[in-house]
Chain A
Amino acid sequence: MTQRILNVKNNDAVHSVNEVLKELLKSGKVAALLVPQYVPSKKVVFPVLISDPDKLDSNVFAPLLPASTAKIISRMTKVQPAKKPIGVVMHPCQIRALVELTKLNQASLENIIIIGVDCLGTFPMKTFVDFPEKNNPTEFILHDFISDGNKSEKYLRSACIVCDEPFPINADIVIGVYGMDISKEILIEAHTEIGKKILEDLKLEHAKDVKSREKKIKDVHDARTKKLESFVKEKTSKRGIAHLAEFFDKCVNCHNCMKVCPICYCRECLFDSSVFDAEAYKFIRKAESKSLFKMPNDSTLFHLGRMNHMILSCVKCGLCEQGCPMDIPLMDIFIPAAENAQKEFKYRPGKDPKEKIPMIVYHEDEYVDIGEK
């Protein structure tokens, strides 16, 4: 593994990383970069596809995930794989989602250079826009990280609090902050041959001792795994259809959770189609058998159906929850369901690009008792 140290100038990690990215663009190693950058109103950070190094003013540490970058890359590469190299700066969860999308033939990684950033967690969009602290959200979370504090946790999205994999896997280049003193230096690692080539041409110092990082990664992973386990335990203590109906009480059937989900890729979702339209007499018959029922009907069926279709690839990014206009805490059921289902099939989405999705493969000698008793 090739490792380099990026010296941080003036305690400004964001700007220092921006300089490296600028160098990538200037040298022509990438034709374009997909990076998070403040929009002119300075309210939010959005992914921008940028080709002019002079216009680059990225903020890779902004604690915000406004849209799925995996889905953006799927859009760019599904029709035709990229002909020129594109560098994409991504959160770890989005890299996992992108790997899943390639398995589903919805994206191509050809000429896509993935630059993964260690994730410190992200805030909900609304919190980010109206941030209650003095500093801006990026300064706040970086300062909190440097001082090893715990102040930012109360603002984090629920998915980020229990995220057990905030470190990029399957990236070409990793921008590492865990275990580093980011007021002085940031680690830049190459995980693939392509990444190695790019890194060797950048004028950066060789890294010496990164043992502290390995230890920190392990510590963070262990702590988060514990948190995740207790989260699953807590949220599955309430179960049953009555609880489920109450959980989705507020759902307005907008299907936004499906639209923002990086995994949901169907051009037309079954639930947006006319499959569930029927003659009035069928509705009346249902009303007669139940005496009454809530309209629009089938909203719980939508959530359960969607869950059945995507849960094995769920990367627990929490975009569904962020996209919900009614603030339904979707992670409370999707994280336990994902954990349990993925454990059943011993499958970790986004981990191994060569491993197939469990629903399209089988072994003859597995689950032999299913269907017999």
Chain B
Amino acid sequence: MVEEKKEKKEEFEPKIVGFLCNWCSYAGADLAGTSRIQYPPNIRIIRVMCSGSVDSMYILRALLNGADGVFVGGCHPGDCHYIDGNYKARRRMVLLQNILDTLGIEKERVWIRWISASEGQKFADTMREMTEAIRKLGPNPISKQWNI
């Protein structure tokens, strides 16, 4: 029993920064909570009005400051409260991942997913999936890089 606890302490717990859109993903996360669906507590949620308002800068800043993963949640394509915000977020994500790929920074740490207000279960599942994926990747090497 004591040993088990010790092991758990040593396991790496990823820090994930999440940008969730007010109308879908944030409500989805809320539903997961009110429905008492359990999911890993590794995400730190920041509510934004639209996934289209998430500048690549936000994501880069989180990554360069040592976040192990960055999650962007938006409405399903076609369902955006502001008509086309998530389509623009999608293009922006393609550009960001392309640049990260060119520079050799792990683009696998940046996730974007469409989660609607009714998909509490999907939010919980996605969080579990992402936490495990990042855990496998290990800590973000940038967090050790002090000269950036």
Known contacts A245-B147, A290-B146; is-contact A300 B64 (Cβ 8 Å): yes
**Shortest beta-carbon distance from A150 to chain B in Å:** 30
A residues 254-310 near B (Cβ < 8 Å) are: 270, 286, 289-294, 298-301, 304-305, 307-309
A364 and B87 form a contact (CB under 8 A): yes
A301 to B67, CA, bound (A): 14
* A79 touches B (CB below 8 Å): no
Q: Which residues of A contact B (CB under 8 A)?
A: 236, 239-245, 248-249, 270, 286, 289-294, 298-301, 304-305, 307-309, 311-312, 333, 336-337, 340-341, 344-345, 358-360, 362, 364, 366-368, 370-372
Chain B residues with CB under 8 A of A371: 74, 77, 86, 90, 93, 112-114
The 10 closest A-B pairs by CB, nearest first: A239-B104, A362-B87, A308-B56, A300-B148, A240-B104, A293-B146, A305-B57, A294-B147, A245-B148, A371-B112
CA distance A301 to B145 in the complex (A): 13
**Which chain A residues lie closer than 8 Å to B90 at the CB level?**
362, 366-367, 370-371
Interface residues in B68-120 (C-beta closer than 8 Å to A): 74, 77-78, 84, 86-88, 90-96, 98-99, 101-105, 112-114
List, in ascending order, chain B residues with CB within 8 A of A293's CB: 146-148
Extra pairs beyond A240-B103, A340-B102, A371-B90 (14, CB < 8 Å): A240-B104, A241-B142, A242-B141, A245-B147, A289-B66, A290-B143, A290-B144, A293-B147, A294-B148, A301-B57, A304-B99, A308-B95, A364-B77, A370-B93
User: Which of chain A's residues have a CB closer than 8 A to the CB of B94?
Assistant: 344-345, 367, 370
Question: Bound state CA distance, A345 and B94, in angstroms?
Answer: 9
Q: Which of B128-148 contact A (CB under 8 A)?
A: 141-148
Interface of chain A, helix or strand or loop or mixed?
helix
Query: Are A367 and B95 closer than 8 Å at their CB atoms?
Result: no
* Separation of A248 and B65 alpha carbons in the complex (Å): 16
A241 to B57 alpha-carbon distance, docked (Å): 17
Q: Cβ of B61 < 8 Å from any Cβ of A?
A: yes
Q: Closest A-chain residue to B57, C-beta based?
A: A305
Residue of A240, A248, A340 near B105 (CB, 8 A) is A240
Q: Per DSSP, are chain B's interface residues mostly helix, strand or loop, or mixed?
A: helix
* Interchain Cβ contacts under 8 Å between A and B, 22 examples: A236-B102, A239-B103, A240-B103, A240-B104, A244-B105, A290-B144, A292-B146, A293-B146, A299-B148, A301-B148, A305-B60, A305-B61, A307-B99, A308-B56, A308-B99, A311-B99, A345-B91, A359-B91, A362-B87, A362-B90, A362-B91, A367-B94
- Shortest beta-carbon distance, B63 to chain A, in Å? 9
Q: Would A308 and B57 count as touching, CB distance under 8 A? A: yes
Instruction: Report the Cα distance A200→B99, complex, angstroms.
Output: 47
B95 → A minimal CB distance (Å): 6
Q: Chain A residues near B56 (CB, 8 Å)?
A: 305, 308-309
A340 to B91, CA, bound (A): 15
Please determine whether A341 and B141 come into contact, CB atoms closer than 8 angstroms.
no
- CB distance B91 to A367 under 8 Å? yes
Q: Which residue of A lies closest to B51 (CB)?
A: A371
Q: Cβ of B147: which chain A residues have Cβ within 8 Å of it?
A: 245, 249, 293-294
Tell whether, in the assembled complex, residue A301 and residue B141 are in contact, meaning their CB atoms are under 8 Å apart.
no
Q: Nearest-CB distance from B106 to chain A (Å)?
A: 9
